[in-house]
Amino acid sequence: MTRREPVTELRLERHAAVVERDLPTIYGHIAADNPAAAEDVLDAVEQTFQQIAQHPNSGVAYPTRNPKLRDLRMVPIRGFSDYLVFYRAEATSVRILYVTHGARNLFRLFRREFRQ
């Protein structure tokens, strides 16, 4: 039997705009038609955040030439792949910068609302 090393979970930081705008907007949009589904999405978001904290390299690098976004990674929300989490992994933490629908114009979003 092989012993597995315990997973070291990085500290999870959520950008204020994720908490104040991104998640309430997603919740409100879905809850207008299906409140139970909106709750399911928020649960899946939290599960995805925890996955990222445990495995920060699980997402893919966001393809960009913008040097400010070079370290940005993205991962779809587990079970709701139309929604994406954008984050930056640092030495001791993972910083969640955006949670948004993948159909949005991401180039415009990042240019208009650059988050660090």
In the chain, domain spans? 11-112
Strand 80-89 relative to strand 93-101: parallel, antiparallel, unpaired? antiparallel
Distances (CA, A) of 18 to 5, 7, 83: 32, 26, 13
Cα separation, 116 vs 103, in Å, equals 22
**Residue 61's pLDDT is what?**
94
Domain 11-112, CATH number (from 3.40.50.620, 3.40.50.150, 3.30.2310.20, 3.40.50.300): 3.30.2310.20
Question: How many residues comprise the chain?
Answer: 116
**Residue 65's pLDDT is what?**
86
Cα separation, 99 vs 87, in Å, equals 9
pTM of structure: 0.88
**Residue 7's pLDDT is what?**
55
Q: Which residues of the chain have pLDDT under 70?
A: 1-8
